[in-house]
Every structure is written in C-alpha cells, then in structure tokens.
Amino acid sequence: MYDVLTEIKHWLSFDQPVALATVINTWGSAPRGVGAKMAFTPDGKISGSVSGGCVESAVFEVGVGVLETGEPELLHFGVSDETAFSVGLACGGNIDVFVKPLDPTFFRLVQAEIAAGNPLAIVTIIHGPAGYPGKELLYVSPENVYGVLGPELDELGRQYAQAGLESGQSGIFQAETAFGEDLHFFVDVVNPPPQLVMVGGVHIAIALASLAKTLGYRTVVIDPRRAFGNQDRFPDVDRLIQSWPQEAFAQVTLTRSSAVAMLTHDPKIDDPALKIVLDSPVFYIGALGSRKTNEKRRQRLLEEGISEEKLARLHAPIGLELGGRTPEEIALAIMAEIVAVRYSRLTRY
C-alpha cells in the first residue's frame, strides 16, 4: 500500500478517477506477494506493480473498463515455465488480481489511519452475487470501523479483519451465506512501516541509520550521552531520544514490525534496554560485542532473572558473519541479518 499512497493522493487532488489492482493470491513463483498493488488512471499514469511484467498491461486494460462500468473484476493469470518471463514471472506460476474503482472517501480514511501509524485491515468482497464484489470495510479496532459490507456481513468482516491483524497476514476467507452463493473476502493487512531502534549513537549507528532509511525503515536512535546522541550526528533519523532506556522506551511503541539493535558496549545502557525489549513483540533483537562480551552479558541477565527462553531471542554477536570491519561494513552485516530474520530466512533461534 505504501508504494502507491503518494501518487493516489496526488491524482485525487485533481479529481482523477483511479483504479486499484491488488494481488490477492499467488501460486508457484511470483515477483510480487499477496497485497501488492498497482494504481492507475485512464490516461496512463501508473504507480506500483502487481507482477513486474506484461501482466501489468492486461491489468491496465481491464482497469480502464472497470472505471467505465464501475464493476470490479477478478483476474487470473497462469503461465508455464517456458513463457514465464514474458509475463513478469520468474518462473511458472499463477496470480489472482482484483481490480476495482478506488473510492476517494474510503481511501482518505485509510490514508488517515496509516498516517497515524495504526495497523489496519481492509476487508473487500471479491466474489459473490451481483452488487457485492467491491464492497469494503476498514477495520482498525472494535471501536474504529468504517464501511458497510451488507446485512449480517459486517460482523463477519470484523472477525476476518481481527484474525488478519492477529496473524499479521493478508489472505482470502470464504463464507457460506443465505444468498445461495458463497462469498469470498480478501483481508488486506496493512502494518506500519518496519522500525529500527538503535540504542547507542556510535559510528556504526550513523551508517546503520542511513542504510535502514534506504530500505524503508523508520529509524529511532536512543542515547542519553549528548556527545553521541545529537542532531549533528543524526540529522536524518526519524526520531532522536536523548534519554536513558527506561524513559526512552516509554516513548517508543514496539511492535512485530520493530527491530532493535544494541550498539553501545555499555552495560549501563544496553542491559536495561535488553530487559525491556526481550519482553516485547519485536521481530529482531541484536547486540554488538564479541562472543566473550556476549557471554558476560548473558550471565548478568540470567542473574537478574531473565529466562533462557527470552535470551534465546538475542542475536549476539550482532549481524551476519560477512567479515567486514569498517562501521559501514558492520552496518551492512547488521541490516542483512535484520532483513533475513524479518523474512524468516535465518533461524539462529
């Protein structure tokens, strides 16, 4: 969703009609995952991608018709290994794409919740009796719901949205109804951008913050030492907190989209921070230091009541073993490990 927000907002400011295509299912190889989006206008302005290849052309043509009729379309693309590259797939695979006219009012509600940093789920009926496909509901919390799916369907949509938010995964739900035809719902989970919290404004953090920003992470630096945690060293971080860990983390929301890197080498700073983040839902926790330093840290935390199970979450020494020695090379190793863990390709714990 994030890669099309800016362009959609710009187009709507000129009252242009917009079609939105969303990948709702994939099989085999597909360069874009479930939830990937492409937005476009009838005059050929395009943002985002659903495949990276010729599928876009077909989706665009259907989308122009969708804007004319106002009726959404569910598209299926399947290719063999021999012809995969010509339609933007790395090898043989299938994708389903749902194309609908964008509702400007609904979009602005979604945009406002995203701007507020709230996780949300958009529930869209993608298959059912005439008049139902395209209906959508925005779910942020039980008290914060927008849109109408239809009689007796709103509660079902809320349940599917809550299930999606709890799992953190977008997907398709199917329900039997009194209409004599099953309804298929697509739940599009939109989480806040990933966040990297760096404890310690050391030289490595300068390079790491820059690399994380390039990869789309929101960056936070925590350091009570003014010589390290100052704006001159970190002019481009999203947030700089010059406080000790207990006070600093009270100001930071840690979610399943957050990663934390301990970089100070100072037990007075790293240890209190670790006690906080080891009890949080963050997807990655790493700490700088040699194996000997890490073992001493581990023993200190065990003596202070931190369980072996929680300590097993800690990546230390931090980063992949790339052999680099400069701050920039170490930052690359750290960021590579964070990306690997985020996408579950590394199982060190």
Residues 39-56 have a mean pLDDT of: 87
Q: What is the pLDDT of residue 348?
A: 47
Residues 139-165 have a mean pLDDT of: 93
113: its two tokens? 């919740």
Average pLDDT value for the chain: 89
Does residue 145 have a pLDDT over 90? Answer: yes
Cα Dmax for the chain: 69
Q: What is the pLDDT of residue 116?
A: 81
Listed residues 148, 166, 190: the one ending a domain: 190
pLDDT tens digits, 298-311? 999 999 889 999 99
328 pLDDT band, cuts 50/70/90, is very high
Listed residues 131, 165, 190: the one ending a domain: 190
Whether residue 199 sits in one domain with residue 287: yes
199, 293, 303, 316 from 296: Cα distances, Å: 19, 5, 11, 12
349 pLDDT band, cuts 50/70/90, is very low
Which pTM was predicted?
A: 0.70
Q: What is the pLDDT of residue 187?
A: 97
Residues 149-174 have a mean pLDDT of: 91
Whether residue 324 sits in one domain with residue 201: yes
Whether residue 116 sits in one domain with residue 22: no
Cis bond leading into 193, ω under 30°?
no
Q: What is the pLDDT of residue 59?
A: 94
Q: Does a structural domain hold residue 282? A: yes
- Domain span at 89: 2-101
pLDDT tens digits, 12-23? 999 999 999 999
Does residue 80 have a pLDDT over 90? Answer: no
* 333/346 Cα distance (integer angstroms): 13
Whether residue 270 sits in one domain with residue 221: yes
Q: What is the pLDDT of residue 133?
A: 95
pLDDT tens digits, 261-275? 999 989 999 999 999
Whether residue 181 sits in one domain with residue 252: no
pLDDT tens digits, 172-183? 999 877 666 789
Residues 265-286 have a mean pLDDT of: 93
For 55-124, what is the HEC assignment?
HHHHHHHHHHHHHHHCCCEEEEEEECCCCHHHHCCCCCEEEEEEEEECCHHHHHHHHHHHHCCCCEEEEE
Whether residue 179 sits in one domain with residue 70: no
Q: What is the pLDDT of residue 14?
A: 95
Q: Does a structural domain hold residue 308? A: yes
Beta strands across the sheet bearing 258-262: 239-241, 218-222, 195-199, 258-262, 284-287, 314-315
Whether residue 320 sits in one domain with residue 225: yes
pLDDT tens digits, 189-228? 998 889 999 999 999 999 999 999 999 899 999 999 988 9
Tell me how many domains the chain contains. Answer: 3
